[in-house]
Every structure is written in structure tokens, then in C-alpha cells.
Amino acid sequence: PHKKVEKICCIGAGYVGGPTCAVIAAKNPHIQVTIVDLNADRIAAWNSDKLPIYEPGLDEVVRSCRGRNLFFSTDVDKAIIEADLIFVSVNTPTKTKGQGAGYAADLGYVESATRHIAKVAQGDKIVVEKSTVPCRTAQSMRFILEANARPGIHFDILSNPEFLAEGTAIADLTNPDRVLIGSLNTPAGRSAAASLADVYAGWVDRQQIITMNLWSSELSKLAANALLAQRISSINALSAICEATGADVDEVSYACGLDQRIGKRFLKASVGFGGSCFQKDILNLVYLSESLHLPEVAAYWRQVVEMNEYQKKRFLNRIISCLFNTLTGKKIAILGFAFKKDTGDTRESAAITLCKYLRQERANVSIYDPEVEERQIWMDLAEPGVQDERKELEKQFTIAPSALEACKGADAVVVCTEWDEFRNSKLDYKKVYAEMNKPAFIFDGRLILDQKELEEIGFHVEMIGRPRSNFQTPKDWE
């Protein structure tokens, strides 16, 4: 007989906590869900008509239950006191300073949220680690909770990693491949896991709700992201071979993907993966491997990230070499700034790296993205710690209100994000061509364009994973 959860609190109203708990509330009308955050602006946005994150379908879910059994608040204490179950869904950025800088996760936010729970809780709680954290974090959370709990209060710790991808969060949450719950293998631990399982059983098939020990659960999250990122680095490594040999990476990917042991999803070559998770989680795994004295394992995973950096650099080099080895003063249109389509999120976006390279090459860059806020783009372009950089940046960068506007007068168009509106069928490439400097180049970092059609218009088209067009050596010169 395990406890029925009646009130849930989620600490952290970000990309993970917000959508996840909104879906939990929508699917469990009998459970009261309160999402809290220290950031008052963010909470105000969750309570407004313009949600703080862009995610297809999220508006409808929030509207269906906000004010009914879903609440957004800055009153962290009250929500903790009332809840039976608390999700900790705060940010865990990579450390920028001190030991493990550049690799290890900064658990400061997790720790402070945990201490806060211990301080204000007046009854027993199930505390669920939802943020992606290094293996063994649950152990530390338990230690902190037990050391600071009021007498007689009992905490159970669960690990419940989230596997949603941005842009498809609502679909992923509504119809997950699996829900993973890690717990201590004690009667209390198993009972807490059963209570959380009931929450998900509100809409997920019991067979897809799997339980295991805490450490397996924590490591599974890092492992899943590492394996996914590894597939992209593998196909991107092959794309370099394709470009040099005349093979076509889409064909190679198709042929390999038909093998059911390999599978066709997540094998699309690109200018490089981005997002808040892949790089961070792999670097976490690298750090973990090193601290466990497993240098070969660390080197294996580190190479996945290095290949990703190499892919971005290689793409830049191709742009430079096609544009007659100089970008100085040339106009480059960047189509797409988000790390993937259907999100306004730019964390670790390949477009940022590319823009920084273009800045060093002294190009003029015009950026267009349908969802990313201008303010965010300027923040991403700025170098950390440099004061009053905006004026300097504005000498080289502009932000355009449309794709066509970004391409006006450009020497090259570079597709960085696979937004549907950049496809041949959606964007009038004849118009784009007419407005560009000649020769007009187009670089497809996402393999979404129809090369033949664009060549017929007059473009020089360069695709990732396809050989370079040999426009510079016309037949009669050979």
C-alpha cells in the first residue's frame, strides 16, 4: 500500500519542469500541480498569454488546466510545504570555473533547492530528481536532506530522468518511449517509486513505466544522450568522407538505417548538434570516467564532442574556400539560429559558433530565425565579460525580419536550422537569387534543400556530405 500523490510541487519552471508538469497536470485533473521558480519574470510569463518558451502544443496544454489544477508561483515555501511529491528541475550548467571547469556539472542549484526543501518541509516528502545530473547526485541529495531535516520527517529520493526533446516536447511527454524511475531497493524506496508510477499511469501504459536502482537510472540518462550524440558524430564523420569521395551522406544514412539493428532515426548529417543536453551530458560522462580512472573511456566519449566541433569548423572552411578564400566585407545570410527547428532555444546552437567564426573572418552577417528573440541573438553573439560590445557587434551583424530580407545583397546563404519555411517549397528561391550578389552561393548545413532545383535557378549549391560543386574548374580548363 503506497501513498497516493495529491499535490505536486515542481522547483524550476524551465524547458524541462514547465512542459513536464503541465502535461502531468493535464492528464491528472485530481492532482494539484504547482510549478515554482525564483525568477519572477519567468513565472509571470507562464501566467500570461505569451509563455516563456516556444513549444508546439504547449499553449493548449497549459490553457487546459492553468488555474484549475496547474499553478505557477514564486512562493517556493508554500508549494514545498503543501506537496507530497517534489520535482527538482533546476538548471545544471557546466562549471566554468574551478575543479572540473568545462566538464563537470555545476550542482549548486540542485544543492540549494535541496537545502531549501529540508529547511521548510513540515512532513514527509518524496523528492524526485528531474534535472539531468551526474551519477550519484541522488546520494548527495539524500545526505543533505537527512542532515537538515526536522526531527521525525522522512524523505524518499527518486531519480526520474526526462527524455523529452525540444520542439516535440508535448508529443514526447504524451507518448513516451518509456518512463524511468530509479529508487533505493528498500520497502520505502519501492513504495515511493510506486507512488510516482501512479502519477504517470494517468496516461502512460504500465509496461512502459520501468523501475531500477537509482544509479542505473541516473546513468541511463547520460548514456541515452551520449549514444544519440554519438550517432550524429558518426554520421558527420562519414559526411566528411562523402564530401571527399563523391558519396552522398543521405544515401549512406538511408542504406545503413534500413538495417534494423541500426535504425534510421537520428542519422541525419548536419552542421553539428546543439542543445542544452548533448555536449553537457557527454562532458559529464568524460569527467565521471576520468574521476573513476578510466582514461580510455573518457577519450572515447570526448571524441564525440571533438567531432562535433570539427564539423562546424569544416563547414566554415568550406564557405571560405568557396568564396574565393576571403569573407572580409562579404555579406553572409544565416537562416536559422535555434539549435533545431520548432524551438526558440539557442543553447549550444551551431549557428552561434559559426557566427563567431564569421566575425573573425570579418564578414557581414545577417541573421534570420522565425522564433528566436532578437535580444537572445545579441546575447549569444557577445563574448563573455566584454563590456559595451553591442556597438562593435552591430558593425558586422544585423538581425533580419524575414529570410528574404536576410538574403538581400548577400554573397552566400547559409542554412543553419532546418525550419520548414526554408525548404524549396516554402521560400521563393527565385526571388532570393534575384536579390543576391553573383555568383550566388547557398550552403545547406541541414540537408533540407533541393540541390538540382536551386542549381537550375543559378545558385552554386554546397551541401554537407555531398562533394563540392566543381564550378571553379570549368570543363575546358581541365
Q: Grid coordinates representing 186? A: 528498500
Asked if 467 contacts 246 with a C-beta cutoff of 8 angstroms, the reply is yes
Site for ligand UDX (CB under 6 A): how many residues?
A: 19
d(CA 220, CA 233): 20
Q: Grid coordinates representing 452? A: 538540382
Closest contact distance (angstroms) between CB of 1 and ligand UDX is: 33
Q: Does 90 help bind ligand ADP (rule: CB under 6 A)?
A: yes
d(CA 408, CA 431): 9
Asked if 8 contacts 21 with a C-beta cutoff of 8 angstroms, the reply is yes
The residue from 232, 283, 410, 412 that contacts ligand UDX (CB under 6 A) is 232
Asked if 163 contacts 172 with a C-beta cutoff of 8 angstroms, the reply is yes
The one-letter code for the residue type at 97 is K
**Nearest CB to ligand ADP, comparing residues 17 and 189:** 17
163 known member of a binding site: yes
The neighbour count for residue 455, using CB atoms within 10 Å, is: 14
**Nearest CB to ligand UDX, comparing residues 89 and 270:** 270
**Nearest CB to ligand UDX, comparing residues 158 and 277:** 277
Asked if 80 contacts 86 with a C-beta cutoff of 8 angstroms, the reply is yes
Site for ligand ADP (CB under 6 A): how many residues?
A: 22
The residue from 339, 397, 422, 429 that contacts ligand UDX (CB under 6 A) is 339
* Residues 235-264 within binding reach of ligand ADP (CB under 6 A): none
Task: Please report the beta strands in 406-459, taking only residues with DSSP state E, as ranges in sequence order.
Answer: 412-415, 441-444
Task: Please report the beta strands in 160-240, taking only residues with DSSP state E, as ranges in sequence order.
Answer: 179-183, 209-213
**Nearest CB to ligand ADP, comparing residues 165 and 201:** 165
Question: What is the residue whose three cell numbers read 513516451?
Answer: 176
* Residues 426-445 within binding reach of ligand UDX (CB under 6 A): none
Residues forming beta bridges with residue 135, ordered by sequence position? none
Gyration radius from the chain CA atoms: 24
Closest contact distance (angstroms) between CB of 395 and ligand UDX is: 29
Q: Catalytic: which of 21, 277, 322, 416?
A: 277
Asked if 333 contacts 415 with a C-beta cutoff of 8 angstroms, the reply is no
Closest contact distance (angstroms) between CB of 198 and ligand ADP is: 24
d(CA 371, CA 373): 6
**Nearest CB to ligand ADP, comparing residues 337 and 443:** 337
Measured between alpha carbons, how far is residue 96 from residues 12, 347, 348 in Å?
21, 15, 15
The residue from 54, 87, 103, 163 that contacts ligand UDX (CB under 6 A) is 163
The neighbour count for residue 361, using CB atoms within 10 Å, is: 17
Asked if 129 contacts 159 with a C-beta cutoff of 8 angstroms, the reply is yes
The residue from 2, 3, 7, 39 that contacts ligand ADP (CB under 6 A) is 39
**Nearest CB to ligand UDX, comparing residues 31 and 334:** 334
Residue 469 partner contact from ligand UDX, ligand ADP, none using kind-dependent CB cut-offs of 5 to 8 Å: none
Residue 273 partner contact from ligand ADP, ligand UDX, none using kind-dependent CB cut-offs of 5 to 8 Å: ligand UDX
Q: Does 73 help bind ligand ADP (rule: CB under 6 A)?
A: no
d(CA 171, CA 17): 15
Closest contact distance (angstroms) between CB of 230 and ligand UDX is: 11
Q: Comparing C-alpha atoms, which of 282, 273, 283 is closest to residue 95?
A: 283
Closest contact distance (angstroms) between CB of 88 and ligand UDX is: 16
Q: Does 277 help bind ligand UDX (rule: CB under 6 A)?
A: yes
Closest contact distance (angstroms) between CB of 62 and ligand UDX is: 19
Q: For strand 7-11 and strand 412-415, is the pairing parallel, antiparallel, or unpaired?
A: unpaired
Torsion sign (Cα): 303, 305, 309, 312: positive
Residue 12 partner contact from ligand ADP, ligand UDX, none using kind-dependent CB cut-offs of 5 to 8 Å: ligand ADP
Closest contact distance (angstroms) between CB of 350 and ligand ADP is: 18
Q: Does 131 help bind ligand ADP (rule: CB under 6 A)?
A: yes
d(CA 307, CA 234): 8
Q: Does 228 help bind ligand UDX (rule: CB under 6 A)?
A: yes
242 labelled catalytic: no
Residues that bind ligand ADP (CB under 6 A): 11-17, 36-39, 42, 76, 89-91, 109, 112-113, 116, 131, 276
What are the residues binding ligand UDX (CB under 6 A)? 162-166, 225, 228, 232, 266-268, 270, 273-275, 277-278, 339-340
Just list the catalytic residues.
Answer: 277
